[in-house]
Amino acid sequence: MSSTAPDPRPAPSPDEDGRAPGDTAHADTVGPGSREPSTDRRRGVFIAFEGGDGAGKSTQVRRLAERLTAAGHAVLTTREPGGTPVGERLRSLVLEHGDVVVDARTESLIFAAARAAHVEQVIRPALAAGRDVVTDRYVDSSIAYQGAGRGLGSADVEAINAWATGGLQPDLTILLDVDPRAGRDRRAGRAPEDRMESEPDDFHTVIRQTFLHRAATSPDRYLVLDGTLPVGEIAARVGDAVLRLADGSLPDVPDAASAAGRLTAPPPDDTAVIPLPEPGAESGATTTRAAGRLADHR
Ligand SMILES: Nc1ncnc2c1ncn2[C@@H]1O[C@H](COP(=O)(O)OP(=O)(O)O)[C@@H](O)[C@H]1O
Ligand SMILES: Cc1cn([C@H]2C[C@H](O)[C@@H](COP(=O)(O)OP(=O)(O)O)O2)c(=O)[nH]c1=O
């Protein structure tokens, strides 16, 4: 990421659909010719991609949108921080280098504020209209980067985000796992590093551990994939999993004022540190559930 607003990322490569999630500071509906939002299903499916910087999330967001669109779904792709005009402005506050001092708690609240707008203005309406929503990052990024990376602890970060989102959770979170150094290498020579990306490898290693740990504690809500696999192979696995999910019945979206969205006693802290494999130990490995992924790391 570079330091210019609103979306300084390099243009997508030619084999992709030419759109960055959240382009033009708004979420983007893919597939103008796709079906009208269904009337026979209550809502669309909500998918989040998570992982370190350079893990391949944006690439896979686009690939999944193409697959869902081809299957006749109406799809909305979006990203965090951003996805709304206010979110894009908040994005520049926390990602640009500059003379504005943003301490850890402020940073956490800014990400949560951008997310509140994103959920209220974009995600909930799209799901209610029967659109599938695919977001590049969501609450887990705050738990990993602010909770663990900045040392705020997962419990408080989880609590403010439960309130910000009214308890809205993805139906499935796809975690693309790559060694932070590999992610950094992938970005080399592209846009200048933003505030987060320029943090040292140790910071990004803790973030990776936190994502993996969260996935391991709720394996039914996560699909964990080795982000070093070929793009097409990851896309195929993701598409298969999401289409299976979308074909099934989905639980109701919690109301914004539901108990899950109230600031109550926080859940127990779960930012345990998980040992990582030695460099190179995971090469070629494919593990689709976090528990298995973590087993690989022991
Ligand atoms: N599975 C993959 N294998 C090799 N390179 C990849 C893979 N997925 C993405 N890339 C490349 O890595 C870089 C970062 O990918 P991107 O999707 O922008 O990651 P993120 O959104 O997680 O930061 C891009 O140059 C992209 O083409
Ligand atoms: C959504 C979110 C992102 N971030 C960070 C992660 C990324 O470094 C940055 C978003 O930058 P972005 O360029 O969108 O991510 P990526 O490099 O993965 O393509 O913001 C947080 O620290 N907390 C959050 O809640």
Which tens digit of pLDDT belongs to each residue from 37-64? 444 557 999 999 999 999 999 999 999 9
Annotation-wise, does 54 bind a ligand?
Answer: yes
CB-based contact 253:124 (threshold 8 Å): yes
Q: Which atom of ligand 2 is nearest to the CA of 138?
A: 1
| Every domain of the chain and the residues it spans | 23-297
Q: Which atom of ligand 1 is nearest to the CA of 59?
A: 17
Say how many Å lie between the CA of residue 53 and the centre of ligand 1.
9
Task: Decide if pLDDT at 291 tops 60.
Answer: no
Please check whether the domain covering 23-297 is classified as CATH 3.40.50.300.
Answer: yes
Ligand 1 pocket check for 237: Cβ under 6 Å = no
Question: Which alpha helices (H) appear in 129-275, and where do they start and end?
Answer: 139-142, 154-165, 180-187, 201-217, 231-247
Task: Decide if pLDDT at 277 tops 60.
Answer: no
CB-based contact 177:55 (threshold 8 Å): yes
Say how many Å lie between the CA of residue 258 and the centre of ligand 1.
37
Average pLDDT over residues 266-277: 53
Ligand 1 pocket check for 54: Cβ under 6 Å = yes
CB-based contact 194:95 (threshold 8 Å): yes
- What ipTM describes this predicted complex? 0.98
Which tens digit of pLDDT belongs to each residue from 127-175? 999 999 999 999 999 999 999 999 999 999 999 999 999 999 999 999 9
Annotation-wise, does 58 bind a ligand?
Answer: yes
